[in-house]
Amino acid sequence: MINKLLILIILTFALSSCMVVKGYEKVNLNDPDMALKDRKSQKYSGKFHSYREGSAGAEGGKSGGGCGCN
């Protein structure tokens, strides 16, 4: 009996924390602070991509050739 009551209480608290996000609240989900990836890995990935493609964006990095010879 106590186990069932404990499970019921836990489920009540767990399910009550779910809520629907309204349309005007979804704007905050695009903030950089809400991103799942850390910035260091994004910076490394951007540098790797720019060297592979032979182009550099506005990241201030040097651009190399598409063959990987800098």
Show pLDDT as tens, one digit a residue, over the chain (70 residues): 889 999 999 888 888 767 777 888 777 767 776 666 666 666 666 666 665 555 555 555 555 555 555 5
At 55 the pLDDT is 56
Q: How far apart are CA 54 and CA 61, in angstroms?
A: 12
Helices (H) then strands (E): counts for the chain: 2, 0
C-alpha 66, offset from chain centre: 28
Number of domains the chain is built from: 1
Domain assignment present for 63: no
Domain assignment present for 35: yes
At 6 the pLDDT is 93
At 2 the pLDDT is 83
Nearest one of 50, 70, 52, 68 to 60, comparing CA atoms: 50
Domain assignment present for 41: yes
